């Protein structure tokens, strides 16, 4: 599939801003199944300075500084991306317990690199309550991929997708008990459950194709990557109960939302602000 992706963020302030600095992660990643044909990020007012770099996780980051006085500010990221089908991994060669042992032993370079995704992160802390919730899918001797798939399915069926029911800093255990939230919450709960069992899981940000019967379309989306020995990282979307494929466009990944925030920054002045976000992922003939 060939997509035209657009992500616009517009700020309106009730008092002038003298200057601001922003950092955005809005450029799709180049992956074996995803090719970025073109990508551009525009800002108004025009930045006096901008800089592109890769962050620790290999995500593309664009930083810019606006020195012009303004009461409105917008960024528009547009990309053309080709997404190919991913191999469907149904691997039963390794159990979840063996995966845990492999990660703890740092047995390979790959497992050592994945090991950093076992630990707590700003929005995801391991907890007995999370382990108890996940353990219902992780019976002794069960293959890892099957157990993770069931956990993803359970979150999809047992949680209610409810926009505006949480904030990004809503405590994870509060979300688990309330059984409702949005894609970021579902992903954080799933990551927390996996890490609480000693498994490696990462947060993936991106988009879902517009117009499809998917929760999280027309907005930034999130799902979970799980380390599977001999297969690498396998993605699961608990919000939609699917394995991401040609309907998903990958932007960035990290330990949790804090590592992949689409846009963040600071402004001098401005007072109260109104923010409008518009996202579309349209197929290109």
**Stated pTM of the model:** 0.95
Residue extents of the structural domains in the chain: 2-84+261-283, 96-244
Write out the CATH class of domain 96-244: alpha beta
Percent of the chain with pLDDT over 90: 87
Cα torsion 107, 113, 114, 117: sign: positive
The CA-based dihedral angle spanning residues 26, 29, 30, 35, taken in that order and rounded to the nearest 10 degrees: -50
Q: CA–CA separation, 252 vs 114, rounded Å?
A: 16
pLDDT, one tens digit per residue, over 184-193 is 999 999 999 9
Cα torsion 256, 262, 265, 267: sign: negative
Question: What confidence score (pLDDT) does residue 212 get?
Answer: 65
Q: CA–CA separation, 209 vs 218, rounded Å?
A: 8
Structural contact between residues 177 and 158, judged by C-beta atoms closer than 8 angstroms: no
Q: DSSP letter at 118?
A: G
Mean pLDDT for all residues in the chain: 94
Give mean pLDDT, residues 37-65: 96
Give mean pLDDT, residues 182-209: 97
> Is residue 211 pLDDT above 80, yes or no?
no
Q: Tokens 């960024």 map to which residue? A: 75
Is 96-244 in the same CATH topology as 2-84+261-283?
no
Structural contact between residues 100 and 198, judged by C-beta atoms closer than 8 angstroms: yes
User: Nearest-CA neighbor of 172 among 133, 212, 207, 130?
Assistant: 130
Question: What confidence score (pLDDT) does residue 132 get?
Answer: 97
Q: CA–CA separation, 132 vs 123, rounded Å?
A: 19
pLDDT, one tens digit per residue, over 102-155 is 999 988 899 999 999 999 999 999 999 999 999 999 999 999 999 999 999 999
Write out the CATH class of domain 2-84+261-283: mainly beta
Structural contact between residues 160 and 179, judged by C-beta atoms closer than 8 angstroms: yes
> Is residue 206 pLDDT above 70, yes or no?
yes
Phi/psi region, residue 174 (left: phi>0; alpha: psi -120 to 50; beta: rest), is alpha
């Amino acid at each position: 599939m060939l997509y035209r992706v657009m992500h616009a963020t517009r700020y309106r302030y009730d008092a002038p801003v003298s200057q601001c600095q922003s950092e955005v992660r809005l450029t799709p990643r180049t992956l074996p199944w995803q090719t970025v044909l073109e990508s551009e990020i525009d800002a108004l007012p025009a930045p006096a300075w901008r800089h592109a770099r890769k962050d620790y996780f290999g995500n593309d980051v664009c930083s810019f500084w606006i020195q012009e006085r303004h009461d409105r500010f917008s960024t528009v990221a547009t990309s053309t991306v080709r997404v190919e089908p991913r191999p469907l991994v149904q691997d039963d060669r390794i159990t979840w317990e063996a995966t845990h042992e492999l990660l703890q032993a740092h047995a390979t370079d790959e497992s050592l690199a994945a090991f950093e995704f076992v630990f707590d992160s700003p929005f995801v802390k391991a907890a007995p309550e999370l382990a108890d919730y996940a353990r219902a899918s992780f019976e002794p001797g069960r293959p890892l991929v099957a157990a993770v798939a069931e956990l993803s399915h359970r979150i999809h069926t047992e949680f209610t997708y409810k926009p505006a029911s949480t904030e990004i800093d809503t405590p994870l255990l509060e979300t688990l008990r309330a059984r409702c939230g949005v894609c970021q919450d579902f992903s954080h709960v799933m990551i927390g459950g996996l890490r609480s069992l000693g498994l490696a899981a990462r947060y993936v940000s991106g988009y879902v194709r517009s117009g499809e019967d998917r929760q999280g379309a027309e907005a930034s989306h999130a799902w979970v990557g799980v380390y599977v020995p001999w297969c690498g990282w396998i993605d699961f979307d608990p919000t939609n109960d699917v394995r991401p494929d040609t309907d998903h466009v990958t932007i960035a990944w990290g330990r949790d939302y804090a590592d992949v925030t689409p846009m963040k920054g600071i402004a001098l002045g401005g007072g109260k602000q109104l923010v409008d976000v518009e996202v579309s992922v349209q197929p290109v003939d």
